[in-house]
Amino acid sequence: MSNILENPKAELHIHLEGSLEPEMLLKLAAKNNVSIKYKSIEEISNAYKFNSLQEFLDIYYQGMSVLHTEEDYYDLTYAYLTKAHQDNVTYSEMFFDPQAHLARNIELGTVFAGMTRAIQDAKNNYGINGSLIPCFLRHLGENDALKAFDKLMDYRKYFIGIGLDSSELGYPPGQFKNLFELARKEKLKLVAHAGEEGPANYVWEALDILGVDRIDHGNAIHSDQELIKRITKDGIGLTMCPLSNKCLKVVPDLHYHQTRNFLDAGIKVTINSDDPSYFGGYANDNYQALINDLHLSDKEVRQLMQNSLDVKFK
Ligand SMILES: [Zn+2]
């Protein structure tokens, strides 16, 4: 590991359910009597080989079905924040998928109680700060998102923004216009996954129709010079996730990753882990992968870390 990785940084694109490590998955499945397909850590690791976003999502939703009690959500969140602290992450904005838990009849109060208690304990024990951003599952459509948003409003003080994730192709951001209008009225920060598997046009929609403050992924921006200009001019942050892109074959390999092109264009690009348990690493593993494959200089790495501190919400 390069020494520069010891510098402070923020992580702005991490799905807590995607930090569920195989050991915890097996332990919680046994404790909560949830039957899963896998009997060993080896079987789980072998299943974590994906050819597309959808192949990953199918396993991801199965994995999170072992989360039941407040203690489970606490353990999940605290384990992630411990790893983040070890990578010198000083602040993290953490995504989670409320609809995926509501669908299993888990109360949002249970989810928030576990997560917020873990954030407080991690702050006391490590000095790390954390905020929550619930994301909506685009494959369920806007009506389901609006119902979940209504329930979330009972817990408004526990989160700082909303996001949009899950299957991208076929679900352009514009389909969620009403949801984002409501959230803006609530003074919530707005983010959306866009341009990961979807085209540059989805990024335009996220900016112009949803009015997002940041774009998650945004790989497709490279194909559109006007879009690059717009994102640079407005100082829109981009939360990129190299190991995720490699695993899901968004780029053929990391030698082709867009990070340096975006840095050179003056975009506020940041480096993040997305779903670290599934994609082979936490924040610093992602920086290290780009140092190895794109040969990023210390100056470039420092800029990426500074960007993360510049475009965080708190
Ligand atoms: Zn993501």
The SS3 of residue 237 is strand
| Ligand 1 centroid distance, CA of 295 (Å) | 24
Q: What is the C-alpha to C-alpha distance for residues 30 and 22, in angstroms, rounded to an integer?
A: 12
Long-range contacts of 109-112 (CB under 8 A, 24+ apart): 109/154, 109/155, 110/69, 110/70, 110/73, 111/73, 112/155, 112/158
Mean pLDDT of 300-306: 98
Instruction: Give how far Cα 105 sits from Cα of 92, 99, 101, 111, 158, Å.
Output: 28, 10, 7, 11, 20
Q: Catalogue the active-site residues.
A: 196
| Ligand 1 centroid distance, CA of 24 (Å) | 21
pTM of the model: 0.97
pLDDT tens string 54-71: 889 988 988 999 999 999
Q: What is the C-alpha to C-alpha distance for residues 193 and 173, in angstroms, rounded to an integer?
A: 9
Strand order in the sheet with 189-194: 9-15, 89-96, 129-137, 161-165, 189-194, 214-217, 237-240, 268-271
Place 133 in a pLDDT band, splitting at 50, 70 and 90. very high
| Residue closest to 176 by CA, chosen among 187, 157, 168 | 168
Mean pLDDT of 18-45: 93
Mean pLDDT of 155-171: 97
| Ligand 1 centroid distance, CA of 234 (Å) | 22
Contact (Cβ atoms closer than 8 angstroms) between residue 33 and residue 68:
no
pLDDT tens string 27-37: 999 999 999 98
| Residue closest to 296 by CA, chosen among 265, 267, 254 | 254
The CATH superfamily holding the domain 3-310 is Metal-dependent hydrolases (3.20.20.140)
| Ligand 1 centroid distance, CA of 97 (Å) | 11
| Ligand 1 centroid distance, CA of 12 (Å) | 10
